Structure 1
Amino acid sequence: MSGISRRHIIAGAAGALALPGLARAQAQQQLAIATGTTGGVYYPLGGALANYLSRGIPGMSATVEVTGGSVANMQLLGANRVGIAITQVDAAVDALRGNDRFRGRPVPARTMAVLYTNRMQVVTVASTGIRSMQDLKGKRVSTGAPGSATEVMAFRLIEGAGLDRDKDFRARERLSPAESTNAIKDGKLDAYFFVSGVPTSAITDLGATPGVQLVMIDHDEYIPRIVEKYGPVYFAETIPAGTYPGQTTPNRQMSVGNIMAVREDMPADLVTKILDITWNNREDWARVHSAARDFTLEGQKSAAAGVPWHPAAEAFWKAKGATLG
């Protein structure tokens, strides 16, 4: 059930009778935040955000959901089981349009804030002999946890590289990044895909393992082909050498933006309160994880958001001086 606890399902059901993803019980508001796997970036950022909101809004009790990632998060938002979904832009656009995993079930999503860039990382170690996307053929790979945007983006990259996800691998697993790192250490996996901010703890762990030489596979050459089919939500970036232990060369890869999404019917005053608290805690947020350093006024762009702004969020950012474009 995408890592949702029974307690949170009950809270979400109650919220359907009150505010979107927001349960009211004994004068207390309970707000659930959909994050991701514990080895990624969404989870620590979501945990800190829940803390800020619980302290900053009287009567608020904010909690985090451990999930498979962006696709699951948008499904939870669509089902009114969470109030906030941290998500990649590609998954949010699919959800809004009712495409792919959301076919027949479009989500009335709106952007509250643009956060930071997520990097597609194709991870292996020197002992596998893998040096390119083509070298993955016949290997054992993981394309990410079920319900994750990693899985969606990995499938699109594999397709863009001219590989068949169902036929060209010796085995294709659906593991979290932490599980993937452990499987490579144990010799049970050759490579894995993971989309996140950098650095991410699972890859850092792999690179720091004694006797292991980390290898990051370049794949930026396939971006034009992917964008041609799926739209301009992806762009090329470089992960600098030394970002991870043992990473000796820059990694030329494909990136996508991240947003905080809410339902279009979230009350305007609540959106404003959440944004005000989040913005005021941005320096502490960046200490929780360096990816939050990219949560800036300059980053609040409509093109980066992909999904239309919630009206209260649009007003908030304009009042702060953002040029949304």
Structure 2
Amino acid sequence: MTQNAPGRRPVLRAALGLLAGAAPAGCARDHGPPPRLRLATGPEGGPYNAFGNALAQAAAAGGRPLEIVPVATSASVDNLLRLRDGSVELALAMADTAEDAVVGRGPFDRPVPVAALARVYVNYTHLAVPADGPVRSVADLAGRPVATGAEGSGVQVVAGRVLRAAGTDTGPAPARPHHLGLAESVTALRGGRVDALFWAGGVPTPALARLSRERPLRFLPLDGYAGALRERHGPVYSEVVLPPGAYGLTEPVGTIGVGNYLLARADVPAAAVRGLTGVVFDRWRELLSEVTAGARLEPRFAIATGRVPLHPGAAAHYRSVYG
């Protein structure tokens, strides 16, 4: 696992103290680990599902008294609703959607009592169009069919916010969203049924890499909208770069980054969460290799979960390892 430099330890200890203090009081109860923890992931074949399956295998191989059961879903929004209704104990979700859930806004009519184990990696927002097509900016999507992610996904949330920030969600000829998952979006773009597709995931995303080898793609810059999204929705959005080499790109393309959180219901026992957080840090290299190239998991990155409180079990893991 990644070790902190000595100068970072006071910062990490202070952050852990603040986050642990902000966690809901009821989630500190420890009745022993449950026999199994259901983990809401994402669609079959997608990165969340791959991460969840890898985490289940790592937990089984680690000799800890934990059984992780991945559950295929539509992803972030769906996952948080399942956490709320108790049909799962764990979930993966994008940071913007998780913060909406904690404060009870957007698709959540009341706050969802969740806590974070870690911010595990960053999603890169992709807006892909055919390289030989007429679309060269988000404004050019006015009146055009656009794949904006499956119903209940975090992609749908960030796509809608980008279109609103660009002013292409209203007016005489608004963009026409098609709520499609990644595989369906790729098929629709390949067949000309949509003129663009949104995706939020690691780099490279295999399905888009395969498509880019079949036909050249243009990835539209989105980093210019990050400030407007932060102003309206909070600091969960950052400027990141799709690097040269990915998808055949010859130069970097600025876009929007959104963290991904591993979450638990607030009432999951602290011992189970502490053990699972240990698995994540013991096996982070293989877990992240399933979703994004070159990513690292460091403690000060992992505890940066914004308005989502750190679970006391996770805080206990960080304190035990990093002081």
TM-score tier after normalising by the smaller chain length: 0.7 to 0.9
**Distance change in 2, residues 1:182/1:139 (3 Å):** same
Distance 2:152 2:316 in 1: 32
Q: Which amino acid aligns with 1:232?
A: P
2:57 to 27, 37, 51: 51
The residue number in structure 1 matching 2:131 is 126
Structure 1 residue 233, shift from structure 2 partner: 1.3
Q: How high is the TM-score relative to the length of structure 1? A: 0.83
Please state if 1:70 is matched with 2:76: yes
What's the CA shift string for 1:110-165, capped at 9, x where partnerless? 01111011111111111322111111112211110000111111111111111116
Distance 1:166 1:156 in 2: 16
Distance 2:170 2:43 in 1: 23
Structure 1 residue 282, shift from structure 2 partner: 1.8
Maintained 8 Å contact 1:282/1:292: no
**Distance change in 2, residues 1:275/1:263 (3 Å):** same
Structure 1 residue 91, shift from structure 2 partner: 0.8
Maintained 8 Å contact 1:41/1:289: yes
The residue number in structure 2 matching 1:150 is 155
Distance 1:248 1:163 in 2: 28
Maintained 8 Å contact 2:42/2:72: yes
Distance 2:94 2:286 in 1: 22
Structure 1 residue 65, shift from structure 2 partner: 1.6
Structure 1 residue 306, shift from structure 2 partner: 3.6
The residue number in structure 2 matching 1:235 is 238
Distance 2:238 2:280 in 1: 27
**Distance change in 2, residues 1:160/1:80 (3 Å):** same
Q: Which amino acid aligns with 2:267?
A: D
The residue number in structure 1 matching 2:249 is 247
Gapped regions of structure 1 (runs ≥ 5)? 1-18, 20-26
Structure 1 residue 167, shift from structure 2 partner: 6.1
Distance 1:214 1:293 in 2: 24
What's the CA shift string for 1:282-310, capped at 9, x where partnerless? 232244343583322241233x4441101
Alignment length (residue pairs): 293
The residue number in structure 1 matching 2:225 is 222
**Distance change in 2, residues 1:220/1:289 (3 Å):** closer
The residue number in structure 1 matching 2:185 is 180
Between 1 and 2, higher relative CO (CA 8 Å, sep ≥ 6) is seen in 2
The residue number in structure 2 matching 1:262 is 264
What's the CA shift string for 1:176-198, capped at 9, x where partnerless? 11111111111211101111122
Q: How high is the TM-score relative to the length of structure 2? A: 0.84
Q: Give matches, 1:170-319, under 5 Å.
A: 171-209=176-214, 212-244=215-247, 246-291=248-293, 293-302=295-304, 304-319=305-320
Distance 1:161 1:42 in 2: 28
Distance 2:155 2:72 in 1: 15
Distance 2:130 2:149 in 1: 17
Q: Percent identity?
A: 32
Q: Which moved more, 1:219-228 or 1:262-271?
A: 219-228
Q: Which amino acid aligns with 1:31?
A: L
Distance 1:43 1:228 in 2: 31
What's the CA shift string for 1:88-120, capped at 9, x where partnerless? 11111111111111113x210101111011111
Structure 1 residue 57, shift from structure 2 partner: 5.1
Gapped regions of structure 2 (runs ≥ 5)? 1-26, 28-32
Structure 1 residue 41, shift from structure 2 partner: 1.6
Distance 1:83 1:296 in 2: 24
The residue number in structure 2 matching 1:31 is 37
Maintained 8 Å contact 1:39/1:176: no
Maintained 8 Å contact 2:141/2:175: no
The residue number in structure 1 matching 2:173 is 168
SS in structure 2 of the partner of residue 101 of structure 1: coil
Q: Which moved more, 1:287-296 or 1:137-146?
A: 287-296
What's the CA shift string for 1:264-297, capped at 9, x where partnerless? 1110110111111222112322443435833222
Distance 1:317 1:280 in 2: 12
Distance 2:70 2:60 in 1: 12
Maintained 8 Å contact 1:181/1:203: yes
